[in-house]
Amino acid sequence: MGSMSHYSVPSEAAKVLQNGIVSHSQHSSLPTEAKALASRIHFTGQEKPRLAVSWRFAESTSALLGLEAILINVLLGRRYNLEAQDVTIDTDHASLFIMSPYLVELEPDADADIVPTSLFESQAKFAKYFPNRDIHGMASTPLRRGVSNIYRAGDGRYVHTHASLDPTPSLNAMGLPADDPRVTNQEECWAVLKDTVASKTADEWDGVLGEDAKQACTICLDAEQYKASAQGKANAGVGLYRIHHQASDSLPKGWWPATALTSPTRPLAGLKVLDLTRVIASPTMTRGLAELGASVMRVTAPHLPDYSGLLPDLNWGKWNCSLDLRKAEDLAKLQNLLKEADVVVNGYRPGVLDKYGLSHEKVFELGKRRGRGFIYVRENCFGWEGGPLDHRSGWQPISDAHSGVSFGYGRSMGLDEPVTPIFPHSDFATGIAGTCAVLQALIERGEKGGNFLIDTALNYANQWLVKHVGEYPKEVWEDVWAANGKPVFRHWHNTGVILPAHLKLCAQQGLFEKRHFEVRKSGALGGLPMRMVKPVLQYLDGHVELGFNVGTRGNGVDAARWPEDLLNEVVE
């Protein structure tokens, strides 16, 4: 890779695509055309890295989007008999993909600079159009805001605790109240939680929080420790995703039902996707499918929390209904949605939806009865390969801490402690991987029929990042770190501290170029104009048009049914 003067982000992205994906044995199940089609993907952008993170996020995100473009080309050839298209990926543009929720502007001034919004500000800022579903006050006070963080345990190791969408269970499991009015700022919060976590060993906290209380939690490992762990060993043989094909004589080969819009221009038009997801990773999968023309019905619940500040970005292309599956009439509505769906994406904690007949086994039985198979995607934190943590809940920072990514970032700043690398790279990487896996499964179903189960996990994305992408060479990292002022963050600095600082650095580095943004209007919100990061894949000949059939919206806007006209803005 060489020194900074010889380093090229676009060139390295191309190498990652070729060596870390299409030519790697862990992805040998890719279509036979994949290797040759890599030559139709062209990477551009500034040569030198600009993100002040030691991990090669721009290169990895660009390469993953390159895989998506390859699979789109395979689909174009096999379903539409269209020759492969040249696709351009700007690596600077791809860098914005992993921070896109923070770059949304409502009713923007087109002449003004891009104005980012940090995570904890977004829900209140966008609440007029996206009603706040933070029903548990996840970050409403300093103490509750501090639960999602890394703290040092009594044995000197580090533990990442997490609030999920309700910090009360974690606080109670730690022997603390749901809130404490005496804690009035983040420094006081850190002091309380540091002392609390120091009262037990890392293993004890892992048991108390991760197993007994069933909360997201992990002991922080470096990359070698993860590799040697039982979970790391279980996951060692899987790449970005794993596809399980279940053949059946009653499920013949074929494509999804076509509509008048199904064409190379909108290659997934007519595909119906049932979206059972929250937060970032799995919603990114379904947004990726929507961008290609798929019709997506997202199902939320009136009694469950959601991170509404992410919806302006991640709800594009999706209808959104609200169902309480504890009620028979609502469960029946969901089953009716399921009967017409082609793809199901389940991003909830492993097993939690099984009691509603939404396990992949039950869905596949329905596929056999109707004579057309399903593609069922399941996403979790730790993996699906039989490891001891497969059953646990988890989020991007938990996986980063567990897989060695956080320790790598901390050490790059001269520390011997884990620090969560800002920007939810593993979320978005998992999201792109899931979109790619669905494309691959659609291609395979067109050749051999059956049902398909797709396994995706944050840990899969992170271990791929560690193994096949890696960190910048020392001299390259030192240069980019110095160019950003050599910021140093500590293990107890969470998103609320690091994200605003990094967004400011990105602006100073000139990353927020207006040519990578577009203004869209959401019909579901009365034509509200919004400035967003535009689709990264650029098809210059116009055969493929990326975009969304319907605009973004908040939860519960639509009726729980598939409309006859798949371009209906709102389902009534």
Tokens matching residue 50 = 């600009």
Report the share of the chain in percent with pLDDT over 70. 99
> Is the distance from CB of 119 to CB of 98 less than 8 angstroms?
no
Residue 208 has pLDDT above 90, yes or no: yes
Helix (H) or strand (E) holding 520: strand 517-522
Residue at token pair 């009653």: 250
Neighbours of 141 (CB within 10 A): 16
Q: Which amino acid is at 537?
A: L
Distances (CA, A) of 150 to 100, 118, 405: 25, 20, 13
- The pTM of the whole model exceeds 0.85: yes
- Cα–Cα distance measured from residue 518 to residue 101, given in angstroms and rounded to the nearest whole number: 14
- pLDDT at position 540, please? 86
- pLDDT at position 3, please? 55
Under the banding of pLDDT at 50, 70 and 90, the label for residue 454 is: very high
Question: Could you report the per-residue pLDDT of 513-531, keeping only the tens digit for each?
Answer: 999 999 999 999 999 999 9
- Cα–Cα distance measured from residue 216 to residue 495, given in angstroms and rounded to the nearest whole number: 16
Strand partners, 42: 88
Fold annotation for 142-234: formyl-coa transferase, domain 3 (3.30.1540)
Distances (CA, A) of 250 to 68, 366, 371, 426: 30, 12, 6, 38
Closest by CA to 272, choosing from 19, 24, 549, is 549
Contacts of 5 (CB under 8 A, 6+ apart): none
Question: Could you report the per-residue pLDDT of 241-290, keeping only the tens digit for each?
Answer: 999 999 999 999 999 999 999 999 999 999 999 999 999 999 999 999 99
Residue 215 has pLDDT above 90, yes or no: yes
Question: Could you report the per-residue pLDDT of 35-93, keeping only the tens digit for each?
Answer: 999 999 999 999 999 999 999 999 999 999 999 999 999 999 999 999 999 999 999 99
Closest by CA to 82, choosing from 286, 290, 266, is 266
Residue 461 has pLDDT above 60, yes or no: yes
Q: Average pLDDT, stretch 433-447?
A: 99
Closest by CA to 380, choosing from 231, 565, 178, 193, is 231
- Cα–Cα distance measured from residue 346 to residue 349, given in angstroms and rounded to the nearest whole number: 9
- Cα–Cα distance measured from residue 74 to residue 61, given in angstroms and rounded to the nearest whole number: 20
Under the banding of pLDDT at 50, 70 and 90, the label for residue 422 is: confident
> Is the distance from CB of 233 to CB of 195 less than 8 angstroms?
no
Under the banding of pLDDT at 50, 70 and 90, the label for residue 5 is: low
Q: Average pLDDT, stretch 338-348?
A: 98
Question: Could you report the per-residue pLDDT of 348-383, keeping only the tens digit for each?
Answer: 999 999 999 999 999 999 999 999 999 999 999 999
> Is the distance from CB of 529 to CB of 521 less than 8 angstroms?
yes
Return phi, psi of residue 520, to 5°.
-115, 155
Residue 100 has pLDDT above 90, yes or no: yes
| Sign of the torsion angle spanned by Cα atoms 245, 248, 252, 255 | negative
Q: Average pLDDT, stretch 179-201?
A: 97
Question: Could you report the per-residue pLDDT of 383-419, keeping only the tens digit for each?
Answer: 999 999 999 999 999 999 999 999 999 999 999 999 9
- Cα–Cα distance measured from residue 50 to residue 481, given in angstroms and rounded to the nearest whole number: 9
Closest by CA to 468, choosing from 502, 433, 441, 436, is 433
SS (H, E, C) 455-519: EEEHHHHHHHHHHHHCECCHHHHHHHHHHCCCCCCCCCCCHHHHHHHHHHHHHHCCCCCHHHEEE
Closest by CA to 316, choosing from 531, 119, 495, 134, is 531
Residue 148 has pLDDT above 70, yes or no: yes
Under the banding of pLDDT at 50, 70 and 90, the label for residue 120 is: confident
- pLDDT at position 542, please? 83
- Cα–Cα distance measured from residue 122 to residue 124, given in angstroms and rounded to the nearest whole number: 6
Domain extents in the chain? 142-234
Closest by CA to 349, choosing from 284, 452, 287, 277, is 277
Contacts of 192 (CB under 8 A, 6+ apart): 143, 146, 176, 180, 183
Residue 1 has pLDDT above 60, yes or no: no
Query: What rounded mean pLDDT belongs to the chain?
Result: 97
Closest by CA to 403, choosing from 335, 346, 340, 467, is 467
- pLDDT at position 541, please? 86
